[in-house]
């Protein structure tokens, strides 16, 4: 018996999951760093998208391409994922021109996380600056 197309797509990590841009936050006066809040179109995709701090995902813009971006939101926040993106190339520039309500794709989560379990019960100090600092800060809230 052949699997339904939706199940085949769901099992293929190379097929982007559809998401909607539900909020865009301009982070700096120069307007070249923005945070994009994305909501999954399909509830099943949201439930499958389990990530831990430090992982990234490929943001997929139809016709423009994909760009790997660190996930900026905490996994404890439900209903959306966030990415803080600096405008730098073709894909990130196209992303910066998008409006709320736009559909795009996300593939992931990918990569490894920070060794948070290793630090449990220990005193630690960490520093971050620039656009990577937002996802870094989110990891400290989980």
> What is the architecture of the domain spanning 17-112?
Beta Barrel (2.40)
Helix, strand, coil content of the chain in percent (nearest 5): 20, 30, 45
Q: How far apart are CA 2 and CA 96, in angstroms?
A: 41
Q: Which residues contact 116 (CB under 8 A, 6 or more apart)?
A: 52, 53, 139, 142
Q: Enter the pTM of the model.
A: 0.79
Name residue 18's beta-bridge partners. 105
Q: Tens digits of per-residue pLDDT, 24-41?
A: 999 999 999 999 999 999
Q: Is the pLDDT reported for residue 129 higher than 60?
A: no
Where do the structural domains in the chain lie, given as residue ranges?
17-112
């Amino acid at each position: 018996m052949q699997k339904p197309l939706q199940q085949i797509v769901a099992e293929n990590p190379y097929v982007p999951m559809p998401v909607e841009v539900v909020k865009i936050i301009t982070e700096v006066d120069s307007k070249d760093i923005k945070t994009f809040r994305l909501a999954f179109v399909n509830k099943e995709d949201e439930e499958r998208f389990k990530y831990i701090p430090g992982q990234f995902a490929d943001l997929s813009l139809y016709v423009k391409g994909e760009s790997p971006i660190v996930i900026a939101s905490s996994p404890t926040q439900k209903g959306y994922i966030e990415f803080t993106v600096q405008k730098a190339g073709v894909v990130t520039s196209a992303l910066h021109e998008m409006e709320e309500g736009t559909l795009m794709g996300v593939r992931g989560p990918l990569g490894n996380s920070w060794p948070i379990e290793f630090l449990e019960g220990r005193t630690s100090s960490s520093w971050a600056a620039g656009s990577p600092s937002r996802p870094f800060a989110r990891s400290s809230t989980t």
